[in-house]
A and B are shown apart, each in its own frame.
Chain A
Amino acid sequence: MTTSAATTTGFGAEAFQAFLATRNEPGWVSDLRRASFGLYQESLGRPLNPEEWKRVDLRAFQANRFSVGGRATTTPATRMGTLLGNHPTTCEAGFAGAVAHVDGVVVDSHLAAELTAKGVLFGDLNELLRTHGDILKPHLMTRAVKPGVDRMSAWHAAFWTGGTVLYVPRNVVIDQPLYSLIGLATPQTMDGSHTLVILEEGAQATLLEETASATTTDAGLHVGSVELLVGKRANLRYVQLQNWNQQTWHFAHQAGLVEQDGSLQWTVGGIGSRLAHIHQEVFLDGKGARGEVNGVTFATDRQTLSYYTQQTHRSPNTTSDLLYKDVLRDEARVIWRGMIRVDQAAQKTDGYQRNDSLLLSPDCRADSIPGLEIEADDVRCTHGATAGRVDADQIFYCMARGMSRYEAMHMIVEGFFHGIYDRIAVEAVRQTLSRAVEVKLGIGQ
């Protein structure tokens, strides 16, 4: 851990060259980084898209205070404060496999032997690009999240540090979930995780991913990306629980692409970070494709959680269903800007989006902006947004029956989230989110 590059902060040309020199990766990967770095530098001369960013206050963010990770770590996965409990280090813990990264370096990776025998790949992106580059190259940043989309995607594509790959061959069904952990332990470090999931035709899998910090006080930065590529008739359930400490900045560009009759159920938990902005897209590319997005966010103190979601229907008979539920307290702010886009070819689209916000304090703020852009003429697209404070009568009713104010609040918040828990098929995720909510309310451990 004594490389001189480790002390180069920021993301300028010098830092990029120093970072590149530490990488042991195929030439085409380095070329992709160089091209992306050029795009990133160009993008710095242009303002961020105001439609997406104008409500996100970045004035206190200073990228130059951080240095890119991915070099070395001495922190084991078990030191991370995870929501799902201890990091599963063996396949006996209810998961078919697990991968963990700390400061952009893989610290654990295992997969059940019978899945390896079936051709499943699950592990660290850096290693799998060296050993199975032929399988990954056609998919990496070419279909779902392309480097040139915006500043964040270019920044990530130049400086990505590692990440989890799941590749499931044709008609292979994985019954048990897989687990991925992204951790930050060293102060002022940038994690650039790239999650790449490829399900071939007819494949099925569930991946639970979690982000966590080793301390509550160290500043961190995540510039990440998620690509979920769901083949024909394939079925993917993907969960990402963002649980950084409240000193961490989280920027992510995430996209799912669903082919004919494929199905993607995507659940997002937004609990941690100082400020998070997630650009989340679902592309319904094949006839009959289905995408469901569930969002559970709970922001407290002075957290800002921002979501820019797009459901893009590109083929006929496609279905999308998005539901985000936000709870806010103190001076927290949640921003949700959602869009359903329907291409001319996407007749018989069924699109839905909804955002509900529950405000627990007078100083919190929720901005909900749903939108539709429809070019086809035979579709059903609906959207809605609600925001409201906790009803004082409900609290009084509960307290009159012997509950404390905390218990009453907990019951109301749980009830608010219940509509979304019911949609999440994975029991461990329901329990984990419920526990995280208790901790946020100050009544759990």
Chain B
Amino acid sequence: MSATFLKVANLSDLAEGGRLSVEVEGRAVLVFRLGGDVFAVEDVCTHDGQPLTDGELVNGEIECPRHGARFDIKTGRAMCMPAVEPVKVFPVRISGGDIEIDQASVN
């Protein structure tokens, strides 16, 4: 399926080191801005199936606020127990002043 990038937020709404919760195709997605780049992961911990929204971001890893599982926001890889499965990551880009996510990858 070909990529279909659509705007999900203004880049100006997302400060360096910050995050935004957005909904794409009915899926909760967490968008990060780090080192001048943006990243998007599914906002669900693969360990307990609940949101990662308020977890700490440390060295490019989002930590689950309940049990401490950590995921690399660039690759989705599970970095420590209790999670063993990666979290989904979605192609995201900056276009002008917009943050755009590939909707086709979310479906």
The interface of chain A, by Cβ under 8 A from chain B, is 54-55, 57, 59-60, 274, 302, 333, 365, 367
Segment 30-44 of B: residues with Cβ below 8 Å from A: 43-44
Residue of A nearest to B21 (CB): A59
B49 touches A60 (CB 8 A): no
Say yes or no: A55 contacts B23, CB within 8 Å. Answer: no
What's the Cα separation between A54 and B28 when bound, in Å? Answer: 15
Residue contact A365 to B49, C-beta cutoff 8 Å: yes
Q: Please give, as numbers and ranges, the residues of chain B lying within 8 Å of A57 by CB-CB distance.
A: 28, 44, 49-51
| Given A54-B50, A59-B23, 16 other A-B residues pairs in contact with their CB atoms under 8 A | A55-B48, A55-B49, A57-B28, A57-B49, A57-B50, A59-B28, A59-B43, A59-B51, A60-B23, A60-B26, A60-B27, A60-B28, A302-B27, A333-B49, A365-B49, A367-B49
Q: How far is the CA of A333 from the CA of B23 in the complex (A)?
A: 19
A-B contact pairs, 18 of them (CB 8 A): A54-B50, A55-B49, A55-B50, A57-B44, A57-B49, A57-B50, A57-B51, A59-B21, A59-B28, A59-B43, A59-B51, A60-B27, A60-B28, A274-B26, A302-B26, A302-B27, A333-B49, A367-B49
B49: which A residues are within 8 A, CB to CB?
Answer: 55, 57, 333, 365, 367
Across the A-B interface, give the 9 residue pairs with the lowest CB-CB distance, nearest first. Answer: A59-B28, A60-B26, A60-B23, A365-B49, A55-B49, A54-B50, A367-B49, A55-B50, A333-B49
Q: Which residues of B contact A59 (CB under 8 A)?
A: 21, 23, 28, 43, 51
**Dominant secondary structure of chain A at its interface with chain B:** loop
Nearest chain A residue, comparing its CB with the CB of B43: A59
In the complex, what distance in Å separates the CA atom of A55 from the CA atom of B49? 7
Interface size on B, residues (CB 8 A): 11
Complex Cα spacing A294 to B27, Å: 31
Query: Which chain B residue lies CB-closest to A61?
Result: B26
Q: Note all chain B residues with C-beta closer than 8 A to A54.
A: 50
Residue of B whose beta carbon sits closest to that of A274:
B26
User: Which residues in A have their C-beta under 8 angstroms from that of B21?
Assistant: 59
Give A59's nearest chain B residue, CB to CB: B28
What distance in Å separates the Cβ of B58 from its nearest Cβ neighbour in chain A? 24
On chain A, the residues within 8 Å of B51 by CB distance are 57, 59
Closest residue to A54 on the B side, CB-wise? B50
Per the bound structure, the CA–CA distance linking A333 and B49 in Å amounts to 9
Which residues of chain A have C-beta atoms less than 8 A from B28's C-beta? 57, 59-60
Bound CA–CA A405/B27 (angstroms):
31
In the complex, which residues of chain A have a beta carbon less than 8 angstroms from the beta carbon of B27? 60, 302
Q: Note all chain A residues with C-beta closer than 8 A to B26.
A: 60, 274, 302
Least CB distance from A241 to B in Å reads 24
Complex interface: chain B residues within 8 A of A333 (CB): 49
Most buried by B among A55, A60, A274, A367: A60
Closest residue on chain A to residue B46 by CB atoms: A365
Bound CA span A60–B22, Å: 10
Q: How far is the CB of B54 from chain A (nearest CB, A)?
A: 13
Give CA–CA (A274, B51) in the complex, Å. Answer: 19
Which residues of B in the span 1-44 have a Cβ within 8 Å of any Cβ on A?
21, 23, 26-28, 43-44
**How far is A302 from B43 in the complex, measured between Cα atoms in Å?**
15
Report the minimal beta-carbon distance from B106 to chain A, rounded to whole angstroms.
Answer: 10
Closest CB in chain A relative to B59 CB, distance in Å: 27
A367 to B26, CA, bound (A): 21
In the complex, what residue of chain A is closest to B48 when comparing beta carbons?
Answer: A55
Chain A residues whose C-beta falls within 8 Å of the C-beta of B50 in the assembled complex: 54-55, 57
Instruction: Count chain B CB atoms within 10 A of each CB in A57, A274, A365 and give the residue with the most.
Output: A57
Give CA–CA (A57, B43) in the complex, Å: 11
For the complex, give the distance between the alpha carbons of A55 and B66 in Å: 13
A64 CB, min distance to chain B CBs, angstroms? 15
| Cα distance, A348 to B59, chains bound together (Å) | 58
A60→B44 CA distance, assembly (Å): 13
A400 to chain B, nearest CB (A): 32
* Nearest CB of A to B70, in Å: 20
Q: Looking at the assembled complex, report how far the CB atom of B47 sits from the nearest CB atom of chain A, in whole angstroms.
A: 11
Minimum C-beta distance from B65 to chain A (A) = 12
Complex contacts, A274 vs chain B, CB 8 Å: 26
Q: A416–B26 Cα gap in the complex (Å)?
A: 31
* Closest beta carbon of chain B to A62's beta carbon, Å: 10
Nearest Cβ on chain B to A153's Cβ, whole angstroms:
24
* A365: B residues at CB distance < 8 A: 49
For window 48-90 of B, CB contacts with A under 8 Å fall at: 48-51
Residues from chain A with a CB closer than 8 A to the CB of B43 are 59
User: Once the chains are docked, how many angstroms separate the CA of A54 from the CA of B51?
Assistant: 10
A179, B89: Cα distance in complex, Å: 47
Chain B residue, CB-CB nearest to A367: B49
CA separation between A59 and B44, bound complex, in Å? 11
